[in-house]
Amino acid sequence: MKRLLLIGTGGTIAAELGENGLAPELTSAQLLRYLPDIAAIAQVDCLQLFSLDSTNIQPKHWVRIADAIAARYRDYDGFVVSHGTDTMAYTAAGLSYLIQQSPKPIVLTGAQKPIGFETTDSKQNLRDAFTVAASDLRGVMVVFNNKIILGTRARKTRSKSFEAFSSINYPLLGLVREGRIVPYIPPEETGGPVFYDRVDPAVSLMKLIPGADCAVAEFLLQRSHGLIIEAFGVGGLPSYKAGDFYEAVRAGLEAGRTVVLTTQVENEGSDLSVYQVGSHLKRNLPILEAYDMTTEAVTAKLMWILGQTRERQEVERLFYTPVARDIFMAQ
| 28-57 pLDDT per residue, tens | 999 999 999 999 999 999 999 999 999 999
Count of CB atoms situated within 10 Å of the CB of 243:
10
Bridge partners (DSSP) listed for residue 109 = 82
Say how far apart CA 318 and CA 311 lie, in whole Å: 11
Overall average pLDDT of the 187-203 stretch: 92
How far are the Cα atoms of 109, 262, 280, 283, 291 from residue 231, in angstroms, in the given order?
30, 6, 15, 17, 12
> What are the sequence ranges of the domains in the chain?
3-195, 203-320
| 11-32 pLDDT per residue, tens | 999 998 887 888 888 999 999 9
Is the pLDDT reported for residue 146 higher than 70?
yes
- In the CATH hierarchy, which fold is given to the domain comprising 3-195? Rossmann fold (3.40.50)
Overall average pLDDT of the 275-291 stretch: 92
| 232-255 pLDDT per residue, tens | 999 999 987 655 899 999 999 999
Overall average pLDDT of the 108-114 stretch: 97
- Most confidently modeled of 16-30, 74-88, 183-197? 74-88
Is the pLDDT reported for residue 115 higher than 50?
yes
Q: Which of these ranges, 112-126, 281-295, 317-331, has the smallest mean pLDDT?
A: 317-331
Overall average pLDDT of the 303-310 stretch: 98
> Active-site residue numbers?
12
Overall average pLDDT of the 217-243 stretch: 90
Q: Which CATH class is domain 203-320?
A: alpha beta
pLDDT band at 331 (very low <50, low <70, confident <90, very high): very low
Is the pLDDT reported for residue 226 higher than 80?
yes
On the question of a common fold for 3-195 and 203-320, the answer reads yes
Overall average pLDDT of the 52-69 stretch: 98
Q: Is the dihedral of CA 131, 134, 135, 141 positive or negative?
A: positive
Overall average pLDDT of the 115-136 stretch: 96
Average pLDDT of the chain to the nearest whole number: 95
Q: What percent of the chain has pLDDT over 90?
A: 88
pLDDT band at 73 (very low <50, low <70, confident <90, very high): very high
How far are the Cα atoms of 14, 83, 94 from residue 8, in angstroms, in the given order?
9, 7, 17
Residue 192: per-residue pLDDT: 83
What is the reported pTM? 0.96
pLDDT band at 176 (very low <50, low <70, confident <90, very high): very high
Rounded to 10°, the helix 312-320/295-308 angle is 140
